[in-house]
Amino acid sequence: MPMPHENRDPQAALAALYAGNARFASGEITAPNRHMARLKEVSDTQAPFAAFLGCADSRVPVEIVFDQGFGDLFVTRIAGNVADAAIIGSLEFGTEVLGAQVLYVLGHTRCGAVTATMEGHDVPGQISTLYQHIRRAAKEARGDLNEAIRRNVQIQAEVLREASPVIARRVARGELVIAGGVYDLDTGLVAPVVLE
């Protein structure tokens, strides 16, 4: 059974994301595709219309923030929304194999990973490995946390484009658009970030 968004063009898919976020932030949540019939419909196959690189922060559940449901979004989450090799491979799968038309990098206000990178805290275990992916944004922001979060979205989108020939090819063919934004923990709104 074809998915309802199967033939959606990338710009229409992006518009659907922003419309869903507007519904969420205004409290007019429709919770589309969050019912048992949809669960059964997508149990054998998936065709998400968007793929996400988001932060692992528990306050930023992507499907809820964009008012989407089962099978609509292919979501990867990692602290600091950084594009490491495993994330890039996952997003290649979501875009090339599953056919997502939008690749969205989602940061959020008061991000702990960006804050920790800027402040240079000593942390246990492997946590500091995230810093290497965020340092450029932190340096360019010159102490401004909100600017560092915005720059991190831009930089991670750039990494996805440059490190993945699979993603770059889909963008060049007009099959995929890369977009980004910052989710406001206080308002629920996602502010688009202009990518370079």
Q: What is the pLDDT of residues 44-92, one digit of tens each?
A: 999 999 999 999 999 999 999 999 999 999 999 999 999 999 999 999 9
pLDDT of residue 2 exceeding 50, the answer is: no
Kindly state whether residue 43 falls inside one of the protein's structural domains: yes
Please enumerate, by residue number, every residue annotated as part of a binding site for Zn(2+).
55, 57, 108, 111
Position 23 in a domain: yes
Which CATH number fits the domain that encloses residue 56?
Answer: 3.40.1050.10
In a domain, 5, yes or no: no
**Domain membership of residue 129 as a residue range:** 10-192
Band the pLDDT of 3: cuts 50, 70, 90. Answer: very low
CA distances from 151 to 73, 108, 170, 172, 190 (A): 24, 12, 24, 23, 15
Region 141-145 average pLDDT: 96
Report the alpha-carbon distance of residue 56 to residue 100 in Å, rounded: 21
- 78 DSSP 8-state letter: -
- In the chain, the number of structural domains is 1
184 falls within a domain = yes
DSSP string, 8-34: --HHHHHHHHHHHHHHHHHT----TT-
pLDDT at 121: 78
End-to-end CA distance of the chain: 38
Domain annotation covers residue 107: yes
> Considering the domain boundaries, does residue 2 fall inside one?
no
What pLDDT, in 10s, does the model give residues 154-184?
999 999 999 999 999 999 999 999 999 999 9
C-alpha 196/C-alpha 178 separation (Å) is: 11
Report if residue 76 sits inside a domain. yes
* Residues ≥6 apart with Cβ < 8 Å to 177: 10, 11, 13, 14, 101, 102, 103, 171
Task: Specify binding-site residues.
Answer: 55, 57, 108, 111
Is 3 contained in some domain?
A: no
Burial class (CB in 10 A: 0-12, 13-18, 19+), 142: exposed
pLDDT single digits (tens) 111-136: 999 999 999 878 889 988 899 999 99
- Mean local confidence (pLDDT), 183-193: 99
> For 189-195, what is the mean pLDDT?
98
* pTM (global) more than 0.85: yes
The answer, yes or no, to whether residue 192 has pLDDT greater than 70, is yes
Tell me the percentage of the chain whose pLDDT exceeds 90: 85
pLDDT of res. 6: 53
State CA 58 to chain mean position distance: 14
